[in-house]
Amino acid sequence: MTRHFQREIEKLNKKILTLSAMVEDQLHKAVRSISERNGKLADEVVSADWEIDQMEVEVEEDGLKILALHQPVAIDLRFIIAVLKINNDLERIGDLAVSIARQGSFLAVRPSINIPLDFPRMAQIAREMVRISIDALIKMDTAMASDVCARDDEIDNLHREMYEIVADNIKTNPGNVQEMISMLSISRNLERIADHATNIAEDVIYMVDGVITRHRTEEYNPASNQK
């Protein structure tokens, strides 16, 4: 590996970690805008989306340039491919955080509805999945990545429960349809964020071990692939 190639790899790694931190911060603020009914905070999330989009483009351009100029192989090739895929998932999480914030801005000026939706629990799991998937990327830790994948069913189940609760309440309280649909949209976006965190975790496993675990994560044992 040439010194120039090593610098380019390190630069790419630094940028994807910077993007990760930006996305995690956006998600944190979006969730807070819901729990605190804070329209100003929600607007901050929407306004900052362009920064994530710009960084996503930079990471993609840098990754493609390295592929074209250096033609990497083995683990270096897997690293760049994984970074390009993770880059896309992080940008999508940023977009979903914006969608949540927009719902937060809407709900902040609407009457509060007292129905048993466990948004704090669902948001906590989604944020933890994103954070741990990023930590797995930083540490190149497949065990942490596998733990993220294992939690996806948990948030899927919570989303189904919320859907049933909202559907029942729409029937009994039709006057609050807009607010309840907004809450269901937040739940769906959190579930999709968890899906993207799972994608990132699967890409970390691919990056480290060269194993494609998509659709069969539950069968993967990191201990059996230690290098």
| 112 or 152, which is more confident | 152
* Span 16-34, pLDDT tens digits: 999 999 999 999 999 999 8
Residue 219 has pLDDT above 60, yes or no: no
For the chain, domain boundaries: 3-225
The predicted pLDDT at position 62 comes to 96
pLDDT at 221: 60
Distance CA 190, CA 140 (A): 25
> Residue 215 — pLDDT band, cuts 50, 70, 90?
low
How confident is the model at residue 218, as a pLDDT? 54
pLDDT class for 47, splitting at 50, 70, 90?
very high
pTM: 0.89
Query: What's the pLDDT band for 213 if we cut at 50, 70, 90?
Result: confident
Say what the pLDDT of residue 227 is.
Answer: 44
Digit-coded pLDDT (tens) for 59-85: 999 999 999 988 888 888 988 998 999
> Is residue 198 pLDDT above 90, yes or no?
yes
pLDDT of residue 123: 87
Report the pLDDT averaged over residues 23-46: 92
| Residue 120 confidence class, pLDDT cut points 50, 70, 90 | confident
Q: What is the pLDDT of residues 176-190, one digit of tens each?
A: 888 888 988 999 999
Q: Which residue has the higher pLDDT, 90 or 110?
A: 90
Query: Going by CATH, does the domain composed of 3-225 fall within 3.40.1410.10?
Result: no
Average pLDDT of every residue of the chain: 88
pLDDT of residue 12: 93
Q: Is the pLDDT of residue 1 over 80?
A: no
